[in-house]
Amino acid sequence: MISSYKYTLLFTLSLPFLFMTGCAREEIEFSTFEKIDTHVHVRYSGPEFFDQAVKDNFKAVVVILDHRDIGMQHDYVEQQKEMHPQQFIYTTAFPIAGWDDPDWQTRTIDHLREAFDGGATAVKIWKNVGMEFKDQNGNFVTIDDPKFDPIIDFIESQDKTLTAHLGEPRDCWLPLEEMLGESNRQYFAGHPEYHMYLHPEYLSYEEQIAAMERMLEKHPNVRYVGCHLASIEWSVTELAKFLDKYPNVAVDMAERIDDLQLRDSDEVRQFFIDYQDRLLYATDFGIEEGDDAAVTMQRLHDTWMMDWNYFTTDSVMTIPDIAQPVKGLDLPPEVLKKIYRENALKWYPALQ
C-alpha cells in the first residue's frame, strides 16, 4: 500500500536534468576510477545492465527485497551470475508474511541459511516493516520487535550484512508547504494515500527512527547499512549524531543525493570529509524485465555521470526541482576512493 515512490521518481525525472560547466580534475577519471554502486535492483534477464557497469567501471550490490516475489528476484540474480559473476554481490530478503505463525522465526532462519549457502552476503529489510505490516492484533511490527532478535543474531553470526530501508524521508510526515524537497511535494500532492501527514493512524517519523535506534542498541556488533541515508536525509547534523552513536553503521545515499543537493554545499562537503569512512555511493537504479534496455542504460550512465560530476567537480549545476543552482562538492581523491569503493568493501566484504 505504500509505494516505493522515490524509486518511481527516478524514472519520472528523466534526462536532461542538468547543465554543467567545468570538468573533472585530470587525475580523477570517471572511466578508470573503480566504483561501486551499493544499491541497485536488477529484475532482468539480459546482460545490458552489467555490460554498462563494466563500461563505466562499476561493480554493484543488487538488492533483493520483501516487495513482490523474493524467489523471482533470486532467479534473476542467478541469471545475472551466469553472465557477470564478478560484477556484483546481492542481498537476500525474507518474507514478513506469516509473522504470527509459531514457526516464523525458524522458517526465516532456514530461508536465510539457504540463501547464504547460495551466495547471498547481506539481508535487506524493507520499509513494510514499520510502515505497512501489522501483526494479528492489528499493531504495526517494527524492527526492534524481540521476534527479530534471533534473526539479526543469526545474520551477525554468519558474518553477513544487515541492510535496511526503514521509514521514509521526513517530508512524508510534513504538510506540503513545509516539505524540503520539491519532488516530494509534487509526489505527495498527487498521492495523498502515501502522505503520512494525512494519516496519523500510521507510526510517526520519530517512531520509525526510534525503532531503528533501539534495534541498533540491541545489536551493536551487526554490520549495518542504513539505506537512503537511514531516512535522516533532512539534516547532516542529525545524520552525523546518528553515525557517532552507532560505529558499525554506514549509510547508503541511494535516491537521497538530491536531498543533499538542497543543502548548503560547504556544509555537505564538510560532512563528507568528516564522515568519509561511513558513506556509501548508491543510486537505487533499477531495471525490470520488459524495460527498453537501451533507453534504461543511457539513463543509468547519465545518472552515474551526473553524480560523479557533483562529487568530483566544483561545477555549478542546474537540477530540476531544486530552485537554486547546485555547486559540486569537489571532494579530495582519498574521500572519493572511500565513498565510491573502500567503504563498500568494508560493509560488503564479499565484493572483494
Footprint on this chain of Zn ion (rule: CB under 5 A):
284
CA distance 157 to 311: 36
Residue with the shortest CB distance to Zn ion: 284
16 preceded by cis ω (within 30°)? yes
User: Minimum CB separation from Zn ion for residue 250, in Å?
Assistant: 16
User: Minimum CB separation from Zn ion for residue 31, in Å?
Assistant: 26
Residue 90 half-sphere exposure toward CB, CA atoms < 13 A: 30
Q: Which is nearer to Zn ion, 126 or 271 (CB)?
A: 126
Q: Which is nearer to Zn ion, 7 or 104 (CB)?
A: 7
**Residue 167 and residue 131 in contact, taking contact as beta carbons nearer than 8 Å:** yes
Residue 245 CB coordination number (10 Å): 12
Q: Which is nearer to Zn ion, 233 or 284 (CB)?
A: 284
Q: Which is nearer to Zn ion, 30 or 133 (CB)?
A: 133
Q: Which is nearer to Zn ion, 284 or 307 (CB)?
A: 284
Question: Which of the 8 DSSP states describes residue 1?
Answer: -
Could you tell me if residue 34 is left (phi over 0), alpha (psi between -120 and 50 degrees) or otherwise beta? beta
**Residue 92 and residue 120 in contact, taking contact as beta carbons nearer than 8 Å:** yes
User: Minimum CB separation from Zn ion for residue 29, in Å?
Assistant: 28
Dihedral in degrees, nearest 10, Cα atoms 307, 312, 318, 320: 20
Q: Which is nearer to Zn ion, 284 or 336 (CB)?
A: 284
User: Minimum CB separation from Zn ion for residue 105, in Å?
Assistant: 26
What are the residue ranges of helices labelled H in the chain?
Answer: 5-12, 48-55, 70-83, 104-118, 128-131, 149-157, 182-190, 205-218, 227-230, 236-245, 257-261, 265-274, 293-312, 333-337, 343-347
User: Minimum CB separation from Zn ion for residue 121, in Å?
Assistant: 17
**Residue 319 and residue 17 in contact, taking contact as beta carbons nearer than 8 Å:** yes
Q: Which is nearer to Zn ion, 41 or 269 (CB)?
A: 41
**Residue 162 and residue 223 in contact, taking contact as beta carbons nearer than 8 Å:** yes
Q: Which is nearer to Zn ion, 259 or 284 (CB)?
A: 284
User: Minimum CB separation from Zn ion for residue 167, in Å?
Assistant: 14
Residue 122 CB coordination number (10 Å): 26
User: Minimum CB separation from Zn ion for residue 334, in Å?
Assistant: 28
CA distance 39 to 347: 12
Q: Which is nearer to Zn ion, 127 or 269 (CB)?
A: 127
Give strand pairing partners of 285: 40
User: Minimum CB separation from Zn ion for residue 92, in Å?
Assistant: 14
Dihedral in degrees, nearest 10, Cα atoms 259, 3, 62, 225: 50
User: Minimum CB separation from Zn ion for residue 294, in Å?
Assistant: 23
